[in-house]
């Protein structure tokens, strides 16, 4: 079983308009709702790939009830912890004329000390049966910035490999707890390390405690800095579309390939193919299965010099 943690779940809403023009009224052509937040997106992709997956984190209020109803028929199993506050919404507005997407994100509900304690009990029970754990996304109000570091230490004590995908101070604190893998984007790495060059930044992040670093380079693919060496992986051609959830699909690709025993080039090829197929999908957090199958053998994975 793969466990994904989304402390700040969301109801993802996608609006499609013919053309997004500031200061104008728009008629929405299509509305799609999906249970979201980074870890839920990861779990949904893992489920589509055939992996047994459990989701946990926080959910609450009327929006949370809608999220759980949408989650119920999907493969990931629901182990979310109820809170008094209302689950946040994220709004993606897709412009048909350009293919671009504008994203609006709420901050999330306030989480109290008793609710955090209830989550820790649930997390501890789930980790004991997990083959891998993914800790994903932002922290809701009320959760301390060292929360991910605490969860990493719990997973490591149980002997379970853990992936961290967050940013800012939670990323800084989390890396110091020595996760097996972190997956920031280039900007997040630069803010963490002070280095704009992704390879130098990834190597610095490893020195700070991460066992392996997979840096997202956006449409240019991924850079991997691992104990076994380094690689760059790129899609065969640039694509345009809705990037919402593309990074989460990359995380799902890495976790599923790890669970299946693939080597680093195989993991990176799957991650890039899945993230690119997600950009091509019409709804946030989904991936185009046909595009994924076509892209996978065409992803370029090239090694660079071993870690110094």
- Alpha-carbon distance values, 208 to 161, 162, 170, 193, 224 (Å): 18, 16, 14, 9, 16
Q: Residues with Cβ < 8 Å from 2, sequence gap 6 or more?
A: 43, 46, 51, 52, 53, 54, 130, 131, 132, 133, 134, 255, 256, 259
248 among known catalytic residues? yes
184 conformational bin, left if phi > 0, alpha if psi -120 to 50, beta if neither: beta
Specify the DSSP element, H or E, that contains 55.
Answer: strand 53-60
Do β-strands 222-226 and 213-216 pair in parallel, antiparallel, or remain unpaired?
antiparallel
Instruction: Using the Cα atoms of residue 302, residue 241, residue 75 and residue 36 in order, give the sign of their dihedral.
Output: positive
Residue from 131, 248, 263, 288 carrying the catalytic annotation: 248
Residue 36: beta bridge partners?
Answer: 10
Helix pair angle (147-157, 113-127), 10° resolution: 30
Determine the straight-line distance between the first and last CA of the chain, rounded to whole angstroms: 35
Helix pair angle (186-193, 198-207), 10° resolution: 60
What per-residue string of b and e applies to 247-265 under the rule 16 or more CB within 10 Å gives b?
bbbbbbbbbbbbbeebebb
Report the half-sphere exposure of 136 (CA within 13 A, side-chain side).
27
Alpha carbon distance 228, 238 (integer Å): 28
> Which stretches within 87-216 are classed as H helix?
113-127, 147-157, 168-176, 186-193, 198-207
Residues with a catalytic annotation lie at 248
């Amino acid at each position: 079983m793969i466990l994904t943690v989304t402390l700040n779940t969301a109801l993802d809403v996608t609006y499609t308009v013919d053309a997004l023009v500031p200061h104008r009224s728009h008629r929405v052509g299509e509305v799609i709702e999906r249970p979201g937040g980074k870890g839920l997106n990861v779990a949904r992709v893992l489920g589509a790939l055939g992996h047994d997956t459990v989701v946990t984190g926080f959910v609450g209020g009327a929006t949370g009830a809608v999220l759980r109803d949408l989650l119920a028929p999907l493969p990931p199993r629901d182990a979310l912890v109820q809170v008094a506050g209302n689950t946040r919404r994220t709004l993606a507005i897709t412009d048909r004329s350009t293919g671009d997407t504008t994203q609006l994100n709420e901050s999330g509900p306030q989480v109290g000390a008793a609710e955090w304690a209830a989550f820790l009990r649930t997390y501890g029970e789930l980790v004991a049966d997990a083959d891998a754990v993914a800790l994903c996304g932002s922290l809701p109000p009320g959760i301390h910035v060292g929360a991910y570091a605490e969860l990493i230490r719990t997973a490591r004590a149980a002997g379970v490999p853990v992936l961290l995908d967050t940013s800012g101070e939670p990323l800084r604190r989390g890396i110091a707890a020595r996760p097996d893998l972190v997956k920031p984007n280039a900007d997040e790495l630069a803010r963490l390390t002070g280095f704009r060059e992704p390879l130098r930044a990834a190597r610095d992040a490893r020195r700070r405690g991460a066992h392996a670093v997979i840096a997202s380079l956006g449409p240019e693919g991924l850079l991997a800095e691992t104990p076994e060496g380094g690689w760059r992986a790129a899609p065969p051609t640039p694509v345009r579309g809705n990037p919402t959830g593309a990074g989460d699909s990359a995380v799902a690709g890495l976790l599923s390939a790890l669970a299946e025993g693939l080597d680093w080039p195989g993991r990176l090829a799957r991650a890039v193919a899945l993230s690119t197929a997600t950009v091509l999908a019409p709804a946030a957090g989904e991936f185009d299965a046909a595009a994924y199958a076509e892209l996978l053998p065409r992803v370029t994975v090239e090694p660079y010099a071993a870690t110094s």
